[in-house]
Amino acid sequence: MSRFSSSGPSQRQLRVGEQVRHALSDVLQRGEVRDDLIESTVISISEVSMSPDLKIATAFVTPLGAADDQAVIKALARNAKFIRGRVSGALKQMKYMPEFRFRLDTSYDNMARIDELLRSPEVARDLDHDGDDKE
């Protein structure tokens, strides 16, 4: 049993996730996946989260310029085995090649929503009011 609590990913998971992200980005950038939707869409991979046993890699992607984000996720899922094979050359040090899962990255949407809330007149009024109390 590990002496650390499961508060977050281990350094190994983070390191391997970053290596997988780079390898996956290279495969997509080179246009090795023969799918019309994937070839015509710029796909940003913001993070790859590895399972504790390093057998599952969850890639958080943002399709740029695509009309239907979910269609791009489905296209990546359809080609996951092919992508796994193409990435394997760059990850020879791994004992097991991870299974790929693709998820839509919503972190940018969340940041935009928080930014919008912070810029709202109600919050601005409260922030200005707090500054008056300190004088």
Q: What is the pLDDT of residue 58?
A: 97
Q: Name the nearest CA neighbour of 48 among 70, 16, 75.
A: 16
> Where does the pLDDT of residue 82 fall: very low under 50, low under 70, confident under 90, or very high at 90 and above?
very high
Span 91-133, pLDDT tens digits: 988 889 999 999 999 887 788 888 888 888 887 777 776 545 5
pTM: 0.77
Span 17-45, pLDDT tens digits: 999 999 999 999 998 999 999 999 999 99
Q: What is the pLDDT of residue 111?
A: 82
Q: What is the pLDDT of residue 4?
A: 52
SS3 category, 36: helix
CA gap 98, 107 in Å, rounded:
24
CA gap 102, 83 in Å, rounded:
11
* Lowest-pLDDT range of 5-9, 60-64, 87-91: 5-9
DSSP state at residue 61: E
CA gap 48, 27 in Å, rounded:
14
